[in-house]
Structure 1
Amino acid sequence: MNLPAAGAFVTSVRDGETGTVTGHEGGRLVVTWPSGRVTRVARADVRCGLIAGQVVQDQPRSLRPPLGEGRVLDVRTLGGREQALVEFWTAGERQWLPWEQLVPVWSAQSLFEQGVAPLAGFAEQFRLRHLALALQHWHRTTGALAQVDIDPLPHQLHLVQRILQSGNLNWLIADDVGLGKTIEVGLLLAALRARGLRRFLLVVPAGLTRQWQAELRTRFGMTQAVIYGQDFEISDPAQWPLFEVVIASMDRLKHERHLELARQSGRWDVVVFDEAHRLSRSLNGLTYRTSERYALAATLRALTENVVLLSGTPHQGDLDRFEALLELLRPGPVWRERIARLRLEPQLLAGLVIRNRKADVTDAQGNFIFKGKVTRAVAAPQNEPEEVFDRALRRYLKQGYDASRENQKAIAIGFVMTIYRKLAASSVAAIQGALERRLLRLQRQGQDDPARPDTDDSNPFVEAEEQVSGTRSEFFSGETELLRGLIGLARGLRAHDTKLQAFTRTLIGGILAGNPDERVLIFTEYRSTQEYLVQTLNGLAPGRVDVIHGGQTLEERAAAIAHFEEAGQFLVSTEAGGEGFNLQRRCHVLVNYDLPWNPMRLVQRVGRLYRYGQERPVVVFNLSVSGSLDDEILRQMYARLDAVATDLASVADEYREGLQEDIVGEVASFLDVSTILAEAATHTPSRTQARIEEALERARQAARQQDDLLRHSSGFDPDALRGELPVGEAHLMAFVDGMFGQLGVTVTHRLHGGQVWDIKLTEDLQRQLNLKQNQRVAFSRHAASRHKATLLDSRSPLLSTLFETAGTYAFSGHVAQTPIGAGGTACAVLRWQDDRGRPLSERFVVLQRQPDGITVNPPAFGHDLLYPAADTLGVPALTPDAWPDFELALHDLLAAGASDDLHPAGFLVTGVAWAGQGAEPG
């Protein structure tokens, strides 16, 4: 039978008296009794002396790591052995353990309640112990220490805390484009990893898989993030457990072979769907029509308890589709009924949807982070040769559309005609190349090719005209002759291209006149136009022109962007290449050489620059040709879109600068004008404009409906974080500096603005961490990479050791007499659990006694934590009769944080501090 450890409480079997084991002699226990009497007793003469409520420390007999401190909840006898049920707060678990390895210790609360005055010399330990707790809580609730140089914005921290403190991980994040959804998800996953969750599946559009991987790896240190189908394949379902963080294309995963493998992938802790509005399910009569993507989502939903959906446009003007997304978050008949009442009970969304608007978010100082956007229309006059070509092209297009309507089998001809119209509106080079390819195809002999390009859902863009050349037979009689004439006219236009001249002389010349080194992002829909512009721009700035397009690898795009930001001046991007990259750091000028028919594409283009980190107003130039029918329609449509957004912003409950930009994107998401423009070839201009006005009005109403509904979502509240203890990177540096002083680590140099330290470790730390004596550490990833230093983040063994040391009972600092606790201060960790008893949410709080009551998380305490603490002498200003006030405040906080999904799990008082009355620092 094991002997109780020194310090354990034992109860005499003979008389029920409880004493403390002070040693062992010859297999017997040396026990000190309350009277001071010391005796030697046999193991069989004593039993467990622990009672419920005592705080104990785990001292294992094996080599396993100790579980730390915990509170005894119960004692039992099982199979003749006595055990204690202990709740360990650090480990977040409850365990039945042999009582012999549990040693009672004085907790901060028991010292306070017993009126034990702290000795001098523990003020600094008190500060460092609670710095460690505050920093670890900061990381567990925001993921911030996964990447200390991210500098998370208040709305991002609020979003992660809202989710983690809600007691439910199933949420739809409906933030505007440009608010950092990858950072939000990265912070969330990092915080969940700190809580022990490991398996994450991210289902994203195919074009964004590499971007997601890069973000998770570089920003959050998730080096194990791999892409299904690119970095690894699954031949045997038994291989799935090898991969913890998986990124997969939704259009790859939806196909039956991959879907079947996904069904066998096992349980996932969290599944994230990016661009969740692509998961469509619509009501058709009394039955649902489910897309393959939605079926994929439903399949994966059965493999996880937690789903996070991301979409800036979740409503899409269709309440049925929106409700279908909500049913992914909350499946089952009870929630289906609640969601069906959404029109009557929109407040339901406060616990399902988080929506942040660009017009609302601020930096840590409360300043709005978006500097605004200015849009300018630049119209190039159409010259006579261009008018002649335009009329000839319209005749060709009309015959093509007529042929498409007359022959249902030739419906694809209309698709080709529409693409030709877009190419003509893009550039003379684009339409000329397409017509020449069409003529060449007609002159060839052989089997017909399909008229449509491969329109895989993963790449909705058509950027190369060779994809739409059509069949090798004429669309209509006489097409070949018409093509020869058109090509001849097009070739004569290049020398007098008024659009190109307006671009180079008026636009680029004007931009560079103010700043010759200004960087400019240029968007076009087509590769042929891109090549046309690059040839021209290379003459203006040799070696300073970069391109990105859909045919490049992620590495090639990244290299082009890096060159543009470091040494380039012009970056010409196609629509397909423009997905997912961000340039706000070095560029604020955008030129749309052609205007997309889908207004949401234009919003997404602008989103490459108009996003967090942009320090200047974004300037957008939209180029068009006066006189061309399609250009006129597009120009008027975008002007009217801006007017509608201005009108909606002006009648908002509270007009905010930047709200108009939010509404432009909102209305654009509902504005479907592609069909109208496709029909414009056979309609009068006035009829086409009327149809666009009708579409705008429908979009306006849909945007209003969405706004009326989503205003009930959770959103960024600038005051939400003001009740939390302010913690940041400065606190991390203060903690490390203080702990180095406690452990004898020498800081020999502080370099690069204090971001890099050269240190010398003690021999004990060298052995413990298996490191050399001299080390270089950094507090930001940028500094660590640039100066070849070790980053002190959540994965750092050194930082982990500092946290563990500060949290041990031997480190002390549970109680202190110091000015940092003037008036009396109690620090505590509060926790809430789900209906199965699993810990879900926590909060670190500081309660400070004031003349008018208890203050929670006083900002001054966070400031005091930054500086070494001094001891005070004198009579303690706090007495045991003050404890009920603190306990009542803790219970009030537990009640305030509880919800239907979140139940109080208790609190742990981690420290108490108070100053001496009228005392001076010692």
Structure 2
Amino acid sequence: MLTIKEGDTIKGPFWKEEVVVEKVERIGRYVRIAGFTLRSKMYVDRLLTEEDLSLIQISKEEFDFSAPADKTFLRIEGLRFKYASIFDPLLAMNVSKIDPLPFQIEAVYGYILKRPRIRFLIADDPGAGKTIMAGLVIKELKLRKLANRILIVVPGHLKDQWRRELKDKFDENFVVVDRHTFNALYGENPWEMNNQIITSIDFAKQEEILPTLNSVYWDLVIVDEAHKMAAYRYGEKISRTKRYKLGEVLSKTSNHLLFLTATPHKGDPENFRLFLDLLAPGFFATPEMVEESLKNKDNPLFIRRLKEDLKDFEGRPIFTRRFPMTLKFNLSDEEIDLYNEVSRYVVHQYNRALRQDKKRNVAFALVILQRRMASSTYALLRSLERRKERLEKILTGQEEPKELKIDFEELEDLEESERWKKEEEWEGVTLAKDPEELRGEIETIERLIEKAKEIVKGEKEVKLRELREAITEGFRRIKEMGGNSKILIFTESRDTLEYLVRKIRSWGYKVNFIHGGMSLEERIKAEKVFRDETEIMVATEAAGEGINLQFCHIMINYDIPWNPNRLEQRMGRIHRYGQQKDVYIFNLVAANTREGEVLLRLFDKLDEIKSKLGSDRVFDVIGDVLYGKNLYQLILDAAMNAKSMDEILKELDIRVDENYISKIKNILGESLATRYIDYTKIKEMAEKAKENRLIPEYVEELFKKAFKMAGGRYRELKEGFLAIDSIPYEIRKIAEETTFKNRFGILMKRYPKVTFDKEVAFKHPEVEFLSFGHPLLEALLEWVERNFSDLARRGAVFKDPSGVYNGLIW
């Protein structure tokens, strides 16, 4: 019988690789073997029978130098590749399809990765590329074998944006976990099923979901718009929001934790201290300690850089200028007549609902008609028609009246398609107590429908004429600046979008669109069509989710969202890094409506703050700049006649003096900002990284040799590309393993065009970039390790063609 001793290296059919034995113990008829796998260092603990022992062999190190030199060479090179991050500390930068900017390199390599345990907040101004910095952290930790299980928590409407950025730029595959996932995996914990997950903050915070997160552990958690995880102190009492409680769970169940936000402070020192407490509980015991660390420039938990300080390697600002312009117009007599009638109907219902405590949600739901009217008469018409249809179904007993539960905080973070579903439900709510009342309401709606139809059919909408003039003016400005002939038009409503596409097409322009009912793949395709073919794109808020439109310089807001954050997101689609020209934003506002008056006063006030502040950063944080004012509520109060216009406008009549500007700077987080960035040092780091990088030609040569040896077939194409026609079974088998798939994603059956050069991949986005982290290269390196490790340990004889060297390698 085989005698196994501690320290032996054994192999057998029970393990995929050799095992180093640390403990041998006889238990009755069994022998217990405990140890670890030789390569992957996985813990092994198994009971073996006498029969099992007969299948085991003790590995003996034999240095007879009989290993084939070509296979030994592949094993040595594979091992060198495995430890590439030791020799190239900026490896992630060199193997990703990005060209990072100095401040991004500084944050990731100068601050974050220097920490043995990452607990850090990136609080740069909007547009600084926080996704790119997070992607570099993910890639670098994975390459260094320090992170395997990764969770990214984002607002619901940004899930697709993150998925796309990480796939396109870093070749990292993440799966989305949501309500559908949980329903499909009943009785299992979906967080354990995959290693790379994206989820929404408002899904994860739910009472029945939070415990499932409490029972899993993550190597790295990243939270975008992390400021939403807020807690507040009232005297001795701390009020924790559901999102904050989620933050507490994530802090406990993760090793590395990275927060991203553009608005960390909000002018409340204690709120900020509690926020930092999620990263490092107890690190700052009082707000004064935070202030002290800022004064001493000794803060290990976060970095913040302002827009005006963000420059490229040549010292040029990375953001162009932007010029928001308000285009005022007055509704026609017919439109004002309809506007007043709709308002009377909605305000009457709204006030009735507010008087009934349990119906307050219905009140807010009814406002949807007012918002549709502000978008377009056509959108109002379609909403009224749907509402009439729903109420008729309730009247005939085909449908039951619905009880509504609205969480406005969650609603704003929903994906657009989900938000539309909710809004369609709102169109069917009613306060009618009996059939007679319901019939009366249906008659009112019919009257409104007739008036709206008359305006739409007669093409009497003033805003449509204003849009046509704005388009003409936009193309004139583009010609002046020598830019791309592209104009982006935003609207909140899908009905308005469909209406505008038809109208703009009839004016002779080439037009396409993006809306929330399209999949991410369809939206990306539409983005390319706009870039290469059409002149105008009409988009709903979905174009603010995962779509990059820096090639466009003119934006028209056909309607103005009542939530200021949405206005910021719209601007951010074209005013971002990569934009080569100044950006012009035209805001269409009906001056003779109540909500229009509020918006005009808002834009005037923002202009005043911008000129006194000396920065256009006010447009990145509109909601925060007018501190103490709830803009949505002000517009709502105006639309619903809840207060007089004088009262509402007085609230916006802020005195912009030195004291106010000082508060604004505090809210914008200027006191947190690092104003000095050592561009010379970072330039040296970037150049050193280029020198140390693994040359693409080396990777390609190794790939070709190993791939051919594994039985793969490839063809060499023009311009240095390869076509991978056939992937061998053994490579595919490795790629099918669950742990491999969770780590590197899915291996395709073939790759028509590949390159190993990052610069080439940049110029040809359709070409597959093979580098570290790509499932094909990683599966091939794994195949080399599994097949040639034992062999290489025997040693090999190499011949030097130049005749300089004469020796052995083992």
Tell me if 1:552 matches 2:518: yes
Cα deviations by residue, 1:43-93 (Å, 9 ceiling, x for unpaired): xxxxxxxxxxxxxxxxx999999xxxxxxxxxxxxxxxxxxxxxxxxx9xx
Partner of 1:245 in structure 2?
196
C-alpha change, 1:187 and 1:498, in structure 2 (3 Å) is same
How far off is 1:160 after superposition?
A: 0.3
Say which SS state the counterpart of residue 473 (structure 2) adopts: helix
Q: Could you tell me which of 414, 417, 434 is aligned with 2:383?
A: 434
- Following superposition of structure 1 onto structure 2, how do residues 689-704 of structure 1 map, counting pairs within 5 Å? 689-694=649-654, 702-704=663-665
Query: Which stretch has the larger CA shift, 566-575 or 782-791?
Result: 782-791
For 1:740 and 1:688, the matched residues in 2 are separated by 70
Contact 2:178 2:199 in 1 (8 A): yes
Q: Could you tell me which of 261, 282, 299 is aligned with 2:212?
A: 261
Runs of 5+ unmatched residues, structure 1: 1-59, 66-90, 92-100, 102-127, 651-657, 760-774, 805-809, 811-922
- Following superposition of structure 1 onto structure 2, how do residues 177-576 of structure 1 map, counting pairs within 5 Å? 177-197=126-146, 198-223=148-173, 227=177, 243-265=194-216, 267-332=217-282, 335-339=283-287, 341-347=289-295, 350-443=299-392, 444-445=394-395, 446=397, 447-450=400-403, 456-457=410-411, 458-459=413-414, 462-463=419-420, 466-474=424-432, 482-494=444-456, 495-512=458-475, 518-541=485-508, 544-549=511-516, 551-575=517-541
Contact 1:280 1:290 in 2 (8 A): yes
For 1:442 and 1:240, the matched residues in 2 are separated by 42
For 1:175 and 1:442, the matched residues in 2 are separated by 49
C-alpha change, 1:722 and 1:234, in structure 2 (3 Å) is same
C-alpha change, 1:231 and 1:620, in structure 2 (3 Å) is same
Structure number with the higher helix fraction is 2
Letter in 2 for 1:278: K
Query: Which stretch has the larger CA shift, 366-375 or 470-479?
Result: 470-479
Letter in 1 for 2:294: P
For 1:417 and 1:231, the matched residues in 2 are separated by 33
Partner of 1:782 in structure 2?
761
How far off is 1:330 after superposition?
A: 0.8
C-alpha change, 1:663 and 1:468, in structure 2 (3 Å) is closer
Structure with the greater alpha carbon radius of gyration? 1
Q: Could you tell me which of 613, 616, 629 is aligned with 2:594?
A: 629
Say which SS state the counterpart of residue 319 (structure 2) adopts: coil
Say which SS state the counterpart of residue 124 (structure 2) adopts: coil
For 1:172 and 1:186, the matched residues in 2 are separated by 15
Say which SS state the counterpart of residue 411 (structure 1) adopts: helix
Q: Could you tell me which of 113, 131, 134 is aligned with 1:164?
A: 113
Tell me if 1:673 matches 2:631: yes
TM-score by length of 1: 0.62
Identity %: 26
Q: Could you tell me which of 648, 657, 661 is aligned with 2:613?
A: 648
How far off is 1:424 after superposition?
A: 1.9
TM-score by length of 2: 0.70
Contact 1:525 1:596 in 2 (8 A): yes
For 1:730 and 1:499, the matched residues in 2 are separated by 61
For 1:346 and 1:257, the matched residues in 2 are separated by 39
Contact 1:200 1:270 in 2 (8 A): yes
Partner of 1:618 in structure 2?
583
For 1:194 and 1:400, the matched residues in 2 are separated by 60
For 2:699 and 2:205, the matched residues in 1 are separated by 53
How far off is 1:371 after superposition?
A: 1.5
Contact 1:667 1:700 in 2 (8 A): no
C-alpha change, 1:708 and 1:217, in structure 2 (3 Å) is closer
Contact 2:511 2:538 in 1 (8 A): no
Partner of 2:682 in structure 1?
721
Say which SS state the counterpart of residue 687 (structure 2) adopts: coil
Say which SS state the counterpart of residue 350 (structure 1) adopts: coil
Say which SS state the counterpart of residue 525 (structure 2) adopts: helix
Cα deviations by residue, 1:559-590 (Å, 9 ceiling, x for unpaired): 33233233233322223x24422333432221
Letter in 2 for 1:450: E
How far off is 1:263 after superposition?
A: 2.0
Contact 2:375 2:493 in 1 (8 A): yes
C-alpha change, 1:735 and 1:212, in structure 2 (3 Å) is closer
For 2:384 and 2:705, the matched residues in 1 are separated by 77
- Following superposition of structure 1 onto structure 2, how do residues 760-839 of structure 1 map, counting pairs within 5 Å? 777-780=755-758, 782=761, 791-793=770-772, 796=777
How far off is 1:513 after superposition?
A: 5.2
Say which SS state the counterpart of residue 245 (structure 2) adopts: helix
How far off is 1:552 after superposition?
A: 3.2
For 1:62 and 1:292, the matched residues in 2 are separated by 52
For 1:582 and 1:699, the matched residues in 2 are separated by 36
CA RMSD of aligned residues (A): 4.8
Say which SS state the counterpart of residue 351 (structure 1) adopts: coil
For 1:631 and 1:221, the matched residues in 2 are separated by 46
Contact 2:157 2:415 in 1 (8 A): no
For 1:187 and 1:738, the matched residues in 2 are separated by 21
C-alpha change, 1:601 and 1:300, in structure 2 (3 Å) is same
For 1:684 and 1:224, the matched residues in 2 are separated by 51
Partner of 2:22 in structure 1?
none
For 2:89 and 2:187, the matched residues in 1 are separated by 35
For 2:269 and 2:113, the matched residues in 1 are separated by 28
For 1:185 and 1:660, the matched residues in 2 are separated by 25
Letter in 2 for 1:372: R
Contact 1:672 1:695 in 2 (8 A): no
How far off is 1:336 after superposition?
A: 4.4
How far off is 1:373 after superposition?
A: 1.0
How far off is 1:467 after superposition?
A: 3.3
Cα deviations by residue, 1:845-901 (Å, 9 ceiling, x for unpaired): xxxxxxxxxxxxxxxxxxxxxxxxxxxxxxxxxxxxxxxxxxxxxxxxxxxxxxxxx
Query: Which stretch has the larger CA shift, 137-146 or 166-175?
Result: 137-146
Partner of 1:82 in structure 2?
none
Contact 2:178 2:203 in 1 (8 A): no
C-alpha change, 1:272 and 1:739, in structure 2 (3 Å) is closer
Contact 2:230 2:243 in 1 (8 A): yes
Letter in 2 for 1:527: R
Contact 1:372 1:618 in 2 (8 A): yes
